[in-house]
Amino acid sequence: MARSSLHIQITAHDRPGILAETLAFIVDVGWNVVDIKQFVFNGMLNLSILLDEDDESLIPPLKEALAKYAEQRNFKVAIYPWKHEAQAESPYPHRSVVTLLCATFPSSAFLEITKTFADLDINIVRIEQLDSGDIQVLEFVIGTRKAHSAEDVLNALVRFKENYRVDIAVQEETYFRRNKRLIVFDADMTFLQCEVIDELGKLAGHGEKMSQITQKAMSGEMDFKSALRERVAILKGLPVEELEKLAENLPLTSGAENLVRILKHLGYKIALVSGGFDFFIDKLCSRYGLDYGVANQLKIEKGVVTGELEGEIIDAQAKENALVSLAEREGFSLRQVVAVGDGANDIKMLARAGLGIAFNAKPIVQRQAQASINLHDLKLILYFLGINGVDLQELNNIAGKGSRQSWPDTE
């Protein structure tokens, strides 16, 4: 007898029992079930069943039974031949996940992104809407013939990103994508909605000069170490009482506190790795229960800032080293690490992490990161971790019990 393999496809209004009823026909006729896939979209069931049998004569009775069943139940059934090799060897074996965040996602955007993928011979395997509230979040699982890096796909989406003002993350579809364990934040203009050293400059009476040097350092126009020493020198003589007052009033970026609560509930380790000062970072870690804080040591003697630093300067290389060291200390793979930052001194840290997110970042940083967010809400990071809107609401309800805030927030 010739060997036969069939693909049964059923489309129907969803209700309990359709799969069981269909399998009853299949088993009664004598076919072997090889694989089953099903999903429900907008109340419509899409069911696929792969069958295999050595007896070709079993095809007509199966077709007859399913045709009568479909007519009685008012749904559509189709039967196709299939080859085992087609299931085993996909022509697009390399999988990536593209996550899009935007305020609105018009039909023209769907057209452009799907055309972009098609022009690059990229196959769309699955599309899922993670959220559809104030923020639209779409997740595309794509397949490529060759192992495209995240950078390749990001470069292909540059024009699309500019046209529709979307935030994009591109990640390899591996088990590490949903198994992140450590998140490392830059502090100034990332976890905090200010540049602390600029605020200190204002207190010292040199706000404008301080801000100009900071801008040059963050945009990569000035060596970070030189810029830091020059700015610290401006602070000479500043009383520690002024630092204490500033530390009590540092503005968190919107979503930061809720994000920390949710990540801690999920078991993440959380670190601040900052080119700022330990005086402030240590207080933030204590206040919000963060696991690690790494920052420059501001020298203070007799209650005033000396205008000098102590120990290693936390520049771009030191940030990268800290990220690697923290991952090793916790026993995590670097692919389980998320890094978030906005300045040029964060680039190495973002590149080394399994997922590097440029948060409201300078152009030089966005061009080199796997992911970017240009909305002032740190909670959006959770979508890049594969969490959907329903999950977020549930997590917020659990992690936020007894807290002064709830999802969503305005912080």
The Cα 99–Cα 276 span in angstroms is 31
CB 150 within 8 A of CB 96: yes
Band of residue 408 on the pLDDT scale cut at 50, 70, 90: very low
CB 360 within 8 A of CB 353: no
Band of residue 83 on the pLDDT scale cut at 50, 70, 90: confident
Is the full-model pTM beyond 0.75? yes
Sheet of strand 44-53, all strands in order from the earlier edge strand to the far edge: 32-41, 44-53, 4-13, 76-81
Least confident of 152-156, 294-298, 306-310, 317-321: 152-156
pLDDT the model gives residue 405 = 40
The Cα 154–Cα 373 span in angstroms is 14
pLDDT the model gives residue 167 = 95
Domain definitions of the chain by residue range: 4-88, 94-172, 182-399
Q: CA 329 → CA 94, 182, 211, 351, distances in Å?
A: 32, 11, 36, 19
Q: Which two tokens stand for residue 411?
A: 């912080």
Mean pLDDT of 339-361: 96
CB 320 within 8 A of CB 348: yes
Which H/E stretch holds residue 9?
Answer: strand 4-13
CB 298 within 8 A of CB 305: yes
User: Coil, helix or strand for 407?
Assistant: coil
Tell me if residue 55 is catalytic.
no
Beta-strand pair 337-341/182-185: parallel
pLDDT tops 50 at residue 365? yes
Q: Which two tokens stand for residue 371?
A: 């992911």
Catalytic residue, candidates 14, 55, 131, 188:
188
CB 352 within 8 A of CB 324: yes
Catalytic residue, candidates 131, 167, 186, 278:
186
pLDDT tops 50 at residue 409? no
Q: Spelled out in words, what is the top-level CATH class assigned to the domain 4-88?
A: alpha beta
pLDDT the model gives residue 402 = 41
Q: Which two tokens stand for residue 197?
A: 């050293």
CB 173 within 8 A of CB 134: no
Mean pLDDT of 403-410: 40
| CATH topology classification for 182-399 | Rossmann fold (3.40.50)
200, amino acid identity? L
Read off the pLDDT of residues 134-161 as tens digits, 9 standing for 90 and up. Answer: 899 999 999 998 887 777 888 888 889 8
Mean pLDDT of 293-300: 97
Chain center to CA of 18: 36
The Cα 247–Cα 46 span in angstroms is 56
Give percent of the chain above pLDDT 90: 74
User: Coil, helix or strand for 317?
Assistant: helix
Band of residue 411 on the pLDDT scale cut at 50, 70, 90: very low
Burial 278-306 (b: 16+ CB within 10 A, else e): bbbbebbbeebebebbbbbebebeeebbb
Read off the pLDDT of residues 34-80 as tens digits, 9 standing for 90 and up. Answer: 999 999 999 999 999 999 988 888 889 999 989 998 999 889 999 99
Per-chain mean pLDDT for the chain: 91
User: Coil, helix or strand for 253?
Assistant: coil
pLDDT the model gives residue 85 = 57
The Cα 141–Cα 179 span in angstroms is 17
pLDDT tops 50 at residue 282? yes
Topology alike, domains 4-88 and 94-172: yes
In 3D space, the residue among 16, 21, 24 whose CA is nearest the CA of residue 72 turns out to be 21
Q: Which two tokens stand for residue 399?
A: 């992690």
CATH superfamily of 94-172: ACT domain (3.30.70.260)
pLDDT the model gives residue 4 = 74
